[in-house]
A and B are shown apart, each in its own frame.
Chain A
Amino acid sequence: MKRYSQLSRHVGAYSDLPFWKKAAPVELLYVGYGLLVVALVVVSYILGATHLLPHDPQEMDLQLLMAPPGTADHLLGTDFVGRDLLSRLILGIQAYFLPGLLAIAIALTLGTFLGVLAGYRGGRIDTAISYGANLIDSFPRLVLILLMVAAFKPDIYYIMVIVGLTNVPVVLSLIKGKIQFLKERDFIEAAIALGLKSRVIILKHILWYNCRTVLIIQATLGMAEAILIETSLSYLGFGVQEPTPSWGNMVQAGANYFMQGKFWPSTAPALAILVTIMGFHLLGDGLNTILEGKRGT
C-alpha cells in the first residue's frame, strides 16, 4: 500500500520542494555514504602525508604475526610480518589519491575543451575529434598502460596522465551531448541572438549552469577508476613496490597466506578497495539520479 497525502489545501505556484526533499531516500543514502567515503579518503590522505599514523607502517612486530583486529592497539590487526594494517591502509591512499586527482583534472579539462569545440563548432572539427576519441577508445586501458610501461617504465603520475587521457572521450561525449541538447532547444541560438559573447555563453551558460553536475559526477567515477587501475597495477607488480604499501600490492603479498587459510592480510586491503570504490560509484550514481533526474535504482 502506498500512501499519498496532500497536506495543504492551497498549493502555491512556486512551492516546489528543494531537491533533497524530492529525492528518494535511497538516493540520499547513496550520496551520504559516498560523501562519507570521500571524507575518509581525504582525511586519510592528510594523515598519510603528514605521517600521523597510529603505528609505523614499516615496523615489523614478529611476535604479533597476522593478529586479528583488536589485538594490542592494532585496530585492524597486523599483516604476515607483523606490520600494523591500519597504518598501511591509510598510507596506501597516497598511492592513488594525488595521481587520481591528476587523472581527473586531465580528463575534465581536456574533455571539456574538446567537447565544447566539437559541440559548438561542429563540422570537420567534430569529425576529427570523434575520430580521435574513437581511437583512444580502441585500446583496453590496462593494455595501453602495459605498452607504456614496456616502452618508458613511467611512474604512477605518468600512468595517471594516460588514464586521464583515456577518460577524455567519455567527458567529451557528455559535454557534446549537452551542447547538442541545448542546441535542439534553441538555447544557444537565443543566447547568440541576445548578443551574448561566445565566451560568456560557453563558460557561464553552457558549462556552469548546464554541465557542472555532469562534470562532478565524472570526477567521482574518475577517482573510482583511478583506484581500480592503481590497485590493479600494483597488484601486477608495476606500481608501487614493496615495502611501500599500496592496497593492490598488499593483496598480492598476502596471496600465499590466503591459500593457507589466513585470509585477513589480503582481505583487509581488498575490503578497503571495495568500500572506497563503491563509495565513489554510489556517490556518482546517486548524484546523477538526484541532479540529472534520471530514473534511479
Chain B
Amino acid sequence: MKLTSVRPVATLLSRELGITALLLFGVSLVVFLVLYLSPGDPFSLLLQGQMATAAAREGVREALGVPKAWYGQYLVWIGNMLQGNFGTSIRSGLPVLNEIVRVGINTLYLTIGSMFVTLLVAVPIALSSARRGTTALNWPFTMFAYVVSALPVFWLGYIVIYIFMHKFGLFPILFRFSRDQGLSWLYFLLPIFVLGIGNGTISEVVRFLREEMSRVLAEDYIRTARAKGASIWAHSFKEGFLIPISEIIASKIPFILGGAVVVEQVFNWPGMGRMAWQAAQDRDYPVIMGIAIATAVLVRLGTLLQRVVYIMVNPRTS
C-alpha cells in the first residue's frame, strides 16, 4: 500500500498547486525558448502582436518598442499572457486567446467524450481479466483491444464516416446541420467514438487497470474481506479502481489531445487540434504557441485533479 506521509490536507493541496504552478512556469520557458530560437525572430513579431492589442485596448497611441534583451522579452510576454493577452493570429488577426477558447470547447468535448468511450471499453475487460484471469470469454476482447490500439485512427475515421454517409445518406460537409435532418445529431458522436477507440491507448489502459486490480486483489485485507463474506468490490474499489483510474486518465490526457489533432482533421472538426495544424502550416506563431500552452495547462490540470483525488481518498491525509 503506497501511502504518503502524514500531513494535513491543506498543506498537501497547496504543495500540489505550487508544483503545478512551477511546472507551468517551466512550460512557458520551453515555449519561449522554442520561439526565441527559431529563425526569423518570430518572438518579436509575437510580442508586437501582443503589445499592439494592449495598446489598442488602453487607447495609447505611441508606438511601443519591443525590449531587446531576452529576459525583457520573456517578462513582457509572460506579463501579457497572465493578463489574458496572447497576441493576435497572424492569419486571421483575431485575438488568440478568444479563438482558442472558442474552439477549445469543441476539443474539450472531444477529449472528455473519447476518454469516456475508452474507459467504457477498457474497464470491463480489465476488471474481468483481473477477477477471473484470462478466460475464453475475455481473451477475444483483450485481442480486440490490441488490434484497435494499433489501428491508424484516421483510417478508422474514414470507415466510420463512410458508413455514416452511406447508411444515413448524410453528407456532413458543414459542421452544423439544420434541425430537421433526423439523425444528424449522431454525427457529433462519431469523432468521440473514433478517438475513444482509436487513440492507441486502450491496450495500455487495460493492462494498467488489470495489473493494479490484480495487485490489490492479492492483498491481505482482501483475503480478510473474503473470509468475512464481505463484498470484494466494495473493499477493493478505492485502491484497485478509483486511484488507478484517476491515474490513467491523467496520464493519457496528452495522448488524447494528440489524437484529437488527427481526428479533427478527419472530421473537419473545428477544435484546437485543427487550429494547431493550420497554424503549423501558416507558421502562425501566436496561435501555435497559445495552443501549446493551453494543452499543457489542460494536462497539468488533469494531473492536479488526480493528485487531489489521491489525497482525498488516502486515509492518512484526509
Closest chain-A Cβ to B37's Cβ sits at a distance in Å of 8
Q: B27 and A259: CB pair below 8 A?
A: no
In this assembly, does B118 line the interface, its C-beta being within 8 Å of a C-beta of chain A? no
Q: A16 vs B116: C-alpha distance in the bound complex, in angstroms?
A: 45
In this assembly, does A255 line the interface, its C-beta being within 8 Å of a C-beta of chain B? yes
Interface residues of A in 222-270 (CB under 8 A from B): 224, 228, 231-232, 235-238, 247-248, 251-252, 255, 258-259, 266-267, 270
Q: Which of A67-75, A190-198, A274-282 contacts B (4 or more CB under 8 A)?
A: A274-282
Q: Which of A55-63, A84-92, A132-140, A200-208 contacts B (4 or more CB under 8 A)?
A: A132-140
Residues from chain A with a CB closer than 8 A to the CB of B254 are 137-141
List the A residue with the shortest CB-CB distance to B279. Answer: A150
B147, B150, B211, B284: which contacts A294 (Cβ < 8 A)? Answer: B211
B142, B158, B257, B279: which contacts A255 (Cβ < 8 A)? Answer: B158
Interface of B is mostly: helix
Residues from chain B with a CB closer than 8 A to the CB of A252 are 154
In this assembly, does A147 line the interface, its C-beta being within 8 Å of a C-beta of chain B? yes
Q: A273 vs B156: C-alpha distance in the bound complex, in angstroms?
A: 12
Q: A258 and B280: CB pair below 8 A?
A: no
Q: A249 vs B12: C-alpha distance in the bound complex, in angstroms?
A: 48
List the B residue with the shortest CB-CB distance to A130. Answer: B19
Residues from chain A with a CB closer than 8 A to the CB of B300 are 138
Q: A276 vs B257: C-alpha distance in the bound complex, in angstroms?
A: 24
In this assembly, does A295 line the interface, its C-beta being within 8 Å of a C-beta of chain B? yes
List the B residue with the shortest CB-CB distance to A258. Answer: B158
List the B residue with the shortest CB-CB distance to A144. Answer: B292
Q: B283 and A135: CB pair below 8 A?
A: no
Do A131 and B26 contact each other (CB < 8 Å), given the known contacts A138-B299, A150-B288, A281-B203? yes
In this assembly, does A151 line the interface, its C-beta being within 8 Å of a C-beta of chain B? yes
Residues from chain B with a CB closer than 8 A to the CB of A294 are 211
Q: A235 vs B161: C-alpha distance in the bound complex, in angstroms?
A: 17
B31, B34, B162, B257: which contacts A140 (Cβ < 8 A)? Answer: B257
Q: B296 and A142: CB pair below 8 A?
A: no
Q: Count how many chain B residues have C-beta atoms less than 8 Å from C-beta atoms of the other chain.
A: 60
Q: A238 and B280: CB pair below 8 A?
A: yes
Q: A153 vs B211: C-alpha distance in the bound complex, in angstroms?
A: 41
The residue among A149, A153, A282 with the most chain B CB atoms within 10 A of its own CB is A149
In this assembly, does A5 line the interface, its C-beta being within 8 Å of a C-beta of chain B? no
Do A143 and B292 contact each other (CB < 8 Å), given the known contacts A266-B158, A274-B151? yes
In this assembly, does A291 line the interface, its C-beta being within 8 Å of a C-beta of chain B? no
In this assembly, does A146 line the interface, its C-beta being within 8 Å of a C-beta of chain B? yes
Closest chain-B Cβ to A48's Cβ sits at a distance in Å of 20
Do A140 and B134 contact each other (CB < 8 Å), given the known contacts A135-B30, A150-B280? no
Q: B257 and A143: CB pair below 8 A?
A: yes
Closest chain-B Cβ to A236's Cβ sits at a distance in Å of 6
Q: A290 vs B48: C-alpha distance in the bound complex, in angstroms?
A: 58
Q: B152 and A151: CB pair below 8 A?
A: no
B31, B42, B258, B283: which contacts A142 (Cβ < 8 A)? Answer: B258
Q: B27 and A146: CB pair below 8 A?
A: no
Residues from chain B with a CB closer than 8 A to the CB of A258 are 158, 162
Residues from chain A with a CB closer than 8 A to the CB of B34 are 147-148, 151
In this assembly, does A297 line the interface, its C-beta being within 8 Å of a C-beta of chain B? yes
Interface residues of B in 133-191 (CB under 8 A from A): 134, 139, 142, 146-147, 149-152, 154-155, 158, 161-162, 165
Residues from chain A with a CB closer than 8 A to the CB of B95 are none
Residues from chain A with a CB closer than 8 A to the CB of B30 are 135, 139
Do A266 and B255 contact each other (CB < 8 Å), given the known contacts A131-B23, A142-B261? no
Q: A146 and B39: CB pair below 8 A?
A: no
Q: B150 and A281: CB pair below 8 A?
A: yes
Q: B265 and A236: CB pair below 8 A?
A: yes
Q: Count how many chain A residues have C-beta atoms less than 8 Å from C-beta atoms of the other chain.
A: 51
In this assembly, does B197 line the interface, its C-beta being within 8 Å of a C-beta of chain A? no
In this assembly, does A152 line the interface, its C-beta being within 8 Å of a C-beta of chain B? yes
Q: A131 and B150: CB pair below 8 A?
A: no
Residues from chain A with a CB closer than 8 A to the CB of B162 are 258-259
Q: A143 and B258: CB pair below 8 A?
A: yes
Do A134 and B158 contact each other (CB < 8 Å), given the known contacts A140-B295, A274-B152? no
Q: Contact string, A108-126, partner B, CB cutoff 8 A, digits 1/0?
A: 0000000000000000000
B42, B139, B281: which contacts A297 (Cβ < 8 A)? Answer: B139
Q: A276 vs B200: C-alpha distance in the bound complex, in angstroms?
A: 13
Q: A147 vs B38: C-alpha distance in the bound complex, in angstroms?
A: 11
Residues from chain A with a CB closer than 8 A to the CB of B296 are 138-139
Residues from chain A with a CB closer than 8 A to the CB of B259 are 142
List the B residue with the shortest CB-CB distance to A24. Answer: B134
Q: A135 and B23: CB pair below 8 A?
A: yes
Do A147 and B22 contact each other (CB < 8 Å), given the known contacts A259-B158, A274-B152, A294-B211? no
Q: B150 and A274: CB pair below 8 A?
A: yes
List the B residue with the shortest CB-CB distance to A282. Answer: B146
Residues of B within 8 A of A (CB): 22-24, 26-27, 30-31, 34-35, 37-39, 42, 129, 134, 139, 142, 146-147, 149-152, 154-155, 158, 161-162, 165, 200, 203, 207, 210-211, 214, 253-255, 257-259, 261-262, 265, 276-277, 279-281, 283-285, 288-289, 291-292, 295-296, 299-300
Q: A143-B295, A147-B288, A150-B38 are in contact. List 18 more A-B contacts (CB 8 A).
A: A26-B134, A135-B23, A138-B24, A139-B254, A139-B292, A140-B261, A142-B262, A146-B261, A147-B292, A150-B288, A228-B152, A236-B261, A236-B265, A236-B277, A248-B152, A273-B152, A274-B152, A297-B207
6 pairs of residues in contact across A and B, judged by CB atoms under 8 Å: A131-B23, A150-B285, A151-B38, A273-B152, A281-B146, A297-B142
**The 7 residue pairs across chains A and B that have the minimum distance between CB atoms:** A151-B38, A142-B258, A270-B155, A277-B150, A278-B150, A140-B257, A140-B258
